[in-house]
Amino acid sequence: MPTIENKQHQNLAVDRKRFVGATVLNLVLTGLSFLLVLPFLWMVLTSFKQLSEVGADSWLPSEGLQWRNYAKVFEQVPFLRFYWNSLFIAACVTFLQVFTSSMAAFAFSRLQWRGRDKVFMLYLSTMMLPGLVMMIPNYQIMIELGLVDTMIGLVIPAAFSAFGTFLMRQFMLAIPSSLDEAAQIDGANKWRLYWDVILPLSRPGLVTLAIFTFMGSYNSFFWPLVMVKSEHKYTLPIGLLYFDSSAGQETNLLMAAVTMSVLPMIIVFVVLQKKLVAGIQLGAVKG
């Protein structure tokens, strides 16, 4: 029979192994985090350099911090206009996509109708098509509708998402069906069931989808590049091309502009970080 002293030694050995394992894991994760931060650090430091210093071996500006680079960005391009265009389009796309995806998910998860699952699988199969493949037919549709070089043309094609529908459907499937029956007994129609019962309970999924959609739309490059012709309608990714032209590449100004352009993404992530992680974890468990 093991004595109390032997058990204590065994527990200490187990605790030691756990401590060593946790320490090694933390060191590995810290090293990986540092590697991930390096590109961002290089971008910020380069934004404070003179153009002649960009190709130097040293990461630090040798001639002092060039705060003037940030002012030059606004002097050379209508940066605030590009900023507003990106934020406005991203906000519109986020609102519409969250709304349409939640409504479609409600139909696919809470309503009973013939061929529902087959239609959902067909709808979900569109996720297998690369975005560049769909760009040509979407552009043809925009030409027919006369929406080329318009803000609406940038918003409408992105207002519907198979991924968003799938994500919201997973959340809604986990909501007990007894709530539907209770709402119907109280006289609620399908709209009231969706708006007052299902949607509030799907809030973690809505927040997660909104963050993903906003970030994807804000960083979108190819679709605005194809659709927009007028300079005053450029988004930030298109406007940044001004610093990389046939006249030369102003890397220091480009990095300054990129640093300012990523600020909304950082703010969104920092503010909604807990809700984003909670939403992803909840969806994974419920799915």
Query: pLDDT averaged over consecutive 10-residue blocks of the chain (287 residues)?
Result: 62 75 86 86 88 78 83 90 93 95 92 90 87 86 92 91 90 86 85 89 87 90 91 91 72 88 81 67 50
Neighbours of 132 (CB within 10 A): 9
- For position 285, what pLDDT does the model report? 46
- For position 247, what pLDDT does the model report? 52
pTM for the complete prediction?
A: 0.82
- For position 287, what pLDDT does the model report? 43
Could you tell me which residues come within 8 angstroms of residue 133 by beta carbon, excluding any fewer than 6 positions away? none
User: Can you tell me the distance from the alpha carbon of 157 to that of 148, in angstroms, rounded to the nearest whole number?
Assistant: 12
Q: In the chain, where are the structural domains located? A: 4-46, 68-286
- For position 217, what pLDDT does the model report? 92
- Please, is 194 exposed, middle or buried when counting C-beta atoms within 10 Å of its C-beta (0-12, 13-18, 19+)? buried
Q: Which CATH architecture has domain 68-286?
A: Orthogonal Bundle (1.10)
Closest CA to 229 of 157, 282, 153: 153
